[in-house]
Structure 1
Amino acid sequence: MSLNYSALFPANRLTAVNEAFEKAFGNVIINEASLLTGGLSAAAVYKIVANSQPYVMKLDVPGNQAAATSFERIALAATAGIAPPLRYKNPDTGIIISDFVESKPIRNIFSGTVLAERLAAAIKKTHAVAYTIPGDEMKDTVDGIVAGFRQSQVLSGPIPDELIAQYEQLKKVYPWHDTDKVFSHNDLNPTNILCDGTAIWIIDWDTAFLNDRYVDLAAVANFFIHSPEQETVFLHTYFGEVTDYQAARFYVMRQVSRIIYALMMLQLAGQNTTAGQVCDQQMEGIFLKDIGPMIGAGKISLATHEGQLLYGKALMNEAVEQMRSVRFSEALTVLGNH
């Protein structure tokens, strides 16, 4: 190896890192090593270039059970061909190495119904992975997010009140305790869905567990499915023939997903304030169709209070608008009668 890692990796991890490189790459030259950012976990993530090929190395807590479980999820997803190929895994040392995906904007590679079909196929492949470890009960999780939002008092008024009232109604009929659970990623936002120009890869499996299949379907649909034609292809690719019950449950979960992301983003905005700062309570005129493209173009940053607040409000307005619709009330009736 040709690089001096003493300034990049913790001194007490150097021996394990060198061993990982030797087992993963053999006696080759490490051309580059740099720290990456992002992801939900506190683990350090690095880009490694060995023999001019890029890889990702995650440096987690050695011997940590949570890390070991996460590593196993990554290995299962990689074996299924949905996570980037795995090169090295050692939970005892807390090191895992995978191929690095040079990601291209997925909407530039696939568009319209083709994008819907490819995304549904990726979710279907994920859900086919054999897995048995459950997570927290989803209803309890959402209830906790709603309670946290109420306690934070970051935003108040008729729109937040209506959102919570609608949630209280839908949670009475949604089949939270359905035992038909699958291996779910549980955070399929655009930063975790990569495209190399040909294939779709999913990363960041820390929050994966056995869960309601509609969680992943709803999250991806909210980010990428924006027309009735796309939705039809998306659901038919995943289910085959789509029943009224499946369509209703999918649509209701889309609103639950929007509620989750909206309230979490707003709470984050509330935490990301300066002393004495009061969050702007204005809700009118803040729509996802306007805010989303501005985020994509880099005009709004989700790392700032302002960006988090705007995005949270836009998601909330979208959820409320959808839950006012005839389609939503009909979907609740279908679930209630099932």
Structure 2
Amino acid sequence: MSIDDPQVQERLRAALIAAFGSAQADAIEPLQGGASTAFPFRVDRGDQRFVVRVEGERSPLRNPHQYESMTRAAQEGLAPRLYYTNETLGVAVMDFIDAKPLNTYPGGSAGFAQGIGGLIARLQAVPAFPHFVDYTDMVGRLWTYLCSTGLFAPGILDRTSARLARVSEAYRAGFEWGVASHNDLLPHNLLFDGSRLWLIDWESAYLNDPHIDIAIALDNFAPDPACAELLKQAASAHWPERIDPTRLALARALVRLYYAGVLLSAAFAALGPLEDRNLSAPSAEAFERAVRLGGMRLDAPETKHLLGKVFLASFMTGAAPPRLGGSA
């Protein structure tokens, strides 16, 4: 399926008719960016601009609650205003946000970290999203798949699998409650309109442990301990007594292995079974420097393979991984 697929175009047309009574538009342009498999289009109608998001092919692990979660988030002003959604068609029509670079957010890294924390606090105050899957099961399924691909040689991932079992057991033992969670709080899923932040791409949104969104945000939007503290304080504004440092550390480990699995699965899809015997990886700083100065393409499968190894090392050692995209 591609952006020019007749089925995609017909679903786009049907969404416009349902939302506005007509498919007429002054301009329709595909939007770039993000890691989602969906096809987003910008639609201009007079002096108004909208986004029509057409869902891509559905996988067996697809979250069935994404449209309900997105609707609730839009009602609370966390996501752009919605005009139409259709779960069966896999379409959503929403306001277009004229986004500014995230690094123009007021207050630099500290202000941005605090802003992200505040966004998490607002999300966790939303009426609970439906439950989909326990996070340890999600990570475990992805990891089991990766281990079966042949991307790595037999036995190479055994130590990682053993650590995942220990972390998952400790994490499940401490679970008490869930909140509305985005579960993929990365830079490409954030928009800054010059005044405030918006969350987009709700494919992974469901009821989850409140530590998960904080864990993802800390790795991507807190470049130093001071920013990390600001983010945690802002995120836990409604429940400061419930943030558990031990549980947060377990959540950060699981999040890192999840993104390792996402990156390495993408590498396998392009490179096939490499039977790789080498888990050595550069530090986060060295990897970011290589991308910045060496012209390494982040979308290249070889880069995803290497970055996946960096995240594996982070899971095993607790060292911070690279940030997945630009931020303030």
Please point out which of 315, 321, 329 is paired with 2:317.
321
Answer yes or no: is 1:88 the counterpart of 2:84.
Answer: yes
Q: What is aligned with 1:332?
A: none
Contact 2:65–2:130 at 8 Å: present in 1 too?
no
Q: Which moved more, 1:129-138 or 1:5-14?
A: 5-14
RMSD across aligned positions (CA): 3.5
Q: Which moved more, 1:144-153 or 1:5-14?
A: 5-14
Please point out which of 240, 244, 247 is paired with 2:245.
247
1:323, distance to aligned residue in structure 2 (A) = 7.1
Q: What is aligned with 1:329?
A: none
Answer yes or no: is 1:52 the counterpart of 2:47.
Answer: yes
Q: What is aligned with 1:194?
A: 191
Task: State how far apart, in whole Å, the 1-side matches of 2:33 and 2:213 are.
Answer: 20
| 1:7-156 alignment runs, 5 A limit | 10-11=9-10, 14=13, 17-22=16-21, 30-37=25-32, 43-59=38-54, 69-91=65-87, 95-110=91-106, 111-156=108-153
> Highest Rg: 1 or 2?
1
Decide whether aligned partners of structure 1 residues 284 and 94 sit closer, same or farther in structure 2, where only a CA change above 3 A counts. Answer: closer
Task: State how far apart, in whole Å, the 2-side matches of 1:166 and 1:226 are.
Answer: 26
Q: How many residues were matched structurally?
A: 310
Decide whether aligned partners of structure 1 residues 229 and 171 sit closer, same or farther in structure 2, where only a CA change above 3 A counts. Answer: same
1:51, distance to aligned residue in structure 2 (A) = 1.9
Task: Give CA-to-partner distance per residue, 1:185-239, whole Å, 9 cap, x none.
Answer: 1111221112122211110112211111111111111111121111111111122
Task: State how far apart, in whole Å, the 2-side matches of 1:13 and 1:226 are.
Answer: 40
1:109, distance to aligned residue in structure 2 (A) = 2.0
Task: State how far apart, in whole Å, the 1-side matches of 2:151 and 2:243 are.
Answer: 36
Decide whether aligned partners of structure 1 residues 47 and 68 sit closer, same or farther in structure 2, where only a CA change above 3 A counts. Answer: farther
1:268, distance to aligned residue in structure 2 (A) = 1.8
Q: Which has the higher contact order (CA 8 A, sep 6+)?
A: 2
Contact 2:105–2:111 at 8 Å: present in 1 too?
no
1:17, distance to aligned residue in structure 2 (A) = 2.7
Contact 1:20–1:95 at 8 Å: present in 2 too?
no
Contact 1:89–1:97 at 8 Å: present in 2 too?
yes
Normalising to structure 2: TM-score of the pair? 0.80
1:68, distance to aligned residue in structure 2 (A) = 8.4
Task: Give CA-to-partner distance per residue, 1:252-296, whole Å, 9 cap, x none.
Answer: 21111111111221122122116xx73665444522223246557
Contact 1:35–1:47 at 8 Å: present in 2 too?
yes
Task: State how far apart, in whole Å, the 1-side matches of 2:198 and 2:5 are.
Answer: 32
Contact 2:53–2:93 at 8 Å: present in 1 too?
yes
Decide whether aligned partners of structure 1 residues 40 and 152 sit closer, same or farther in structure 2, where only a CA change above 3 A counts. Answer: same
Task: Give CA-to-partner distance per residue, 1:103-139, whole Å, 9 cap, x none.
Answer: 2331342423211110011111111111351011222
Normalising to structure 1: TM-score of the pair? 0.78
Q: Mark the runs of 5 or more structure 2 residues left unpaired by the alignment.
A: 57-61, 321-328
Please point out which of 288, 293, 297 is paired with 1:301.
297
Quick one: percent identity of the two aligned structures?
A: 23
Contact 1:189–1:219 at 8 Å: present in 2 too?
yes
**SS in structure 2 at match of 1:272:** helix
